[in-house]
Structure 1
């Protein structure tokens, strides 16, 4: 759906700018937490990242990018966003600032790109120009585009993560056509690794005899809607939706195959077996899985000082189950157990982001979506 100027103006006029409400208090296993609603009235917010000046940039799935100032005020929609196919699970998805944003002003965002045959996951980069009240994107360049587009409106992925070497990871879903996740000539059901200009890193995997697309990093993923760089394991972690059961945390390593739909810890929605079972030679096992499903979306590896008890742990949003899953880990990155936080308090959790001060920010997936800040209460 293309967002034209008149529609953007109406959305901006109807958006509720709010001051933080009275904090809600929660007692977790190790620490008391306060939750404040920073803003509401967002249309299905999907992804967020912090900018060097302390403001945040975020997406609404319906096709808008907004900036949240340090004072908690949301901007009008940023101009220059390309057309997105905002249907079903598609639309404007994740967004990240370049590691050198302070000098380059580059942002990267993923979206369901309309094209011949339907839509597919794509990634664009652009220069963010902040000019008074109206910010805009300039020099918009699509640096990755799923080659095979279809009319299916689900399973686009899609998270963006910069690796320490400056390369960009992109997660893609199987687009609701499960066997595409095993086709190494197809971008679907994969982790993609590219340079910031869209070129292919020279050290991308090329398994013997695989004949795979050079931008593929790993395959066999169903619908990874969370991803983060993990300094403990020194690699990329993904969280992805299973079918009925079998949501997974995976350590996405070069050239590996994570099994979908050959192996799975879930069953079909008709309660039928998927593939050959839960394991088979040549396919990786998840680090953790949920059964029944929680519908995970958003992932951060906590690194801050506000919650030292959680340092190194994984924080995962849950859509269907409406909580934040804290996966407790040891110093080697092994998952020891799970604590389920804030159950039902905020609705569907779409994204989980750590702020520069160590607080944790949530996006809720709703037509009246919210930004919620979690801080230490003691």
Structure 2
């Protein structure tokens, strides 16, 4: 049965509210932040980007189903063939892309997208394939290794971000609650969870709920809403960044077996104004390192480790859809502090660190620019 809160909203209102449609002008402009920003290429609804290790090339997904290979220093892109059919609409379509830890030897890449199910249902999947480079780049042997369960109606909160552990042994996936609320607390569903697998897609040994079997054996943590960033900090800890409802975006230190509270608690409220108990009212649940109200509506998050911006070393850099730029955050133990917002004048879907330590950001939507961020001067 559909949640009554969802029934009170139109699909468009629900999607806009959940992804932070407004842009705040409270950030510093690029010059004041000590950066220079240059537009280098254009994409159609890009969603994710990853640099290929040992190369000057990056893969970029577009939500409607295209995978682009872009060469740094040019505005040229080439379509990669062998891509899957995606279920495009709302927040759904082609999702994340990352290179396997052993990419230099295997050429393997991992991708996520939304696939259709029966009776107007759909869900995210993760697959791997070999990327063959050359004049006509292509994917070979594309094989799905994980699926959201169950498939449900609607077109929101897929999450489907991918991250490998620093040692390359484990594959982590974010699985959103699909705007259905209660599955985030249901251990018989993998919605509203962080998943830990082996690189071949089987549940990783030692997962906290392995003894329950089924999809529970995949689960690393639960009680999540819509996780659009997942990354390891330089000290090896796993962090996510999540969209809250009307308020309550948050960064979490993701630890095995912990319950992050959704939809029992939040630092935001339902879109119809109905209050949700605050995180602090449930100290038995994992607490966010930081939360935002109003929201920043994150696109993704990285930890900066390069040399181009030495003053940003070890900080979290967030692509912000709602606040239209980059948000810098300092992580200190289990707490986080916002340091700066840099206004780029448009919704930012993705931020990535280049091999030379400079940054690239992808705007959101049609005609979106890939923008190169370098130190000023």
Identify the TM-score tier after normalising by the shorter chain.
Answer: 0.7 to 0.9
Is 1:60 aligned to residue 62 of structure 2?
A: yes
Greater shift, 238-247 or 63-72, is seen at 63-72
Is 1:316 aligned to residue 321 of structure 2?
A: no
The aligned counterpart of 2:140 is 138
Preserved contact between residue 70 and residue 78 of structure 2 (Cα < 8 Å): no
2:184 to 172, 181, 185: 181
Preserved contact between residue 261 and residue 279 of structure 2 (Cα < 8 Å): no
Q: CA deviation at 1:349?
A: 0.7
The correspondence of residues 151-190 of structure 1 with structure 2, limited to 5 A, is 151-166=153-168, 167-190=170-193
C-alpha distance 244-210 of structure 1, shift in aligned 2 (>3 A): farther
The aligned counterpart of 1:290 is 292
* Alpha-carbon distance in structure 1 between the residues aligned to 2:275 and 2:211: 31
The correspondence of residues 244-259 of structure 1 with structure 2, limited to 5 A, is 244-259=246-261
C-alpha distance 354-276 of structure 1, shift in aligned 2 (>3 A): closer
Q: CA deviation at 1:38?
A: 1.2
The correspondence of residues 158-307 of structure 1 with structure 2, limited to 5 A, is 158-166=160-168, 167-206=170-209, 213-232=216-235, 234-275=236-277, 278-307=280-309
Provide Cα deviations, 1:144-165, integer angstroms capped at 9, x if missing partner.
Answer: 0112112210000021111023
Preserved contact between residue 259 and residue 285 of structure 2 (Cα < 8 Å): yes
Q: Secondary structure at the match of 1:213?
A: helix
Preserved contact between residue 279 and residue 285 of structure 1 (Cα < 8 Å): no
Q: Secondary structure at the match of 2:216?
A: coil
C-alpha distance 113-209 of structure 1, shift in aligned 2 (>3 A): closer
Q: CA deviation at 1:338?
A: 2.6
Preserved contact between residue 107 and residue 132 of structure 2 (Cα < 8 Å): yes
Provide Cα deviations, 1:247-276, integer angstroms capped at 9, x if missing partner.
Answer: 000011111110000010001111111257
Q: Secondary structure at the match of 1:36?
A: strand
The aligned counterpart of 1:371 is 370
The aligned counterpart of 1:9 is none
The aligned counterpart of 1:121 is 124
Provide Cα deviations, 1:305-360, integer angstroms capped at 9, x if missing partner.
Answer: 11110101111111122121101245x4742333111x2x3411111111111111
Consecutive unaligned residues in structure 1, runs of 5 or more: 1-23
* Alpha-carbon distance in structure 2 between the residues aligned to 1:319 and 1:286: 20
C-alpha distance 26-262 of structure 1, shift in aligned 2 (>3 A): same
* Alpha-carbon distance in structure 1 between the residues aligned to 2:117 and 2:148: 10
Is 1:354 aligned to residue 372 of structure 2?
A: no
Preserved contact between residue 188 and residue 214 of structure 2 (Cα < 8 Å): yes
Consecutive unaligned residues in structure 2, runs of 5 or more: 1-28
Preserved contact between residue 206 and residue 212 of structure 1 (Cα < 8 Å): no
Q: Secondary structure at the match of 2:307?
A: coil
Q: Secondary structure at the match of 1:309?
A: helix
Q: Secondary structure at the match of 2:104?
A: helix
* Alpha-carbon distance in structure 2 between the residues aligned to 1:209 and 1:282: 22
Q: CA deviation at 1:239?
A: 0.4
The aligned counterpart of 2:45 is 44
Scaled by the length of structure 1, the TM-score of the pair is: 0.87
Preserved contact between residue 237 and residue 253 of structure 2 (Cα < 8 Å): yes
Preserved contact between residue 170 and residue 192 of structure 1 (Cα < 8 Å): yes
Scaled by the length of structure 2, the TM-score of the pair is: 0.88
Q: Secondary structure at the match of 1:169?
A: strand
The correspondence of residues 331-346 of structure 1 with structure 2, limited to 5 A, is 332=333, 334-341=335-342, 343=343, 345-346=344-345
The aligned counterpart of 2:16 is none
* Alpha-carbon distance in structure 2 between the residues aligned to 1:189 and 1:207: 17
Q: CA deviation at 1:102?
A: 1.1
Q: Secondary structure at the match of 1:158?
A: strand
Provide Cα deviations, 1:262-306, integer angstroms capped at 9, x if missing partner.
Answer: 010001111111257643143110001100111111100011111
Q: Secondary structure at the match of 1:26?
A: coil
* Alpha-carbon distance in structure 1 between the residues aligned to 2:281 and 2:138: 48
Q: Secondary structure at the match of 2:31?
A: strand
* Alpha-carbon distance in structure 1 between the residues aligned to 2:92 and 2:212: 34
Across the two proteins, how many residue pairs are aligned to each other?
A: 346
Q: Secondary structure at the match of 2:72?
A: coil
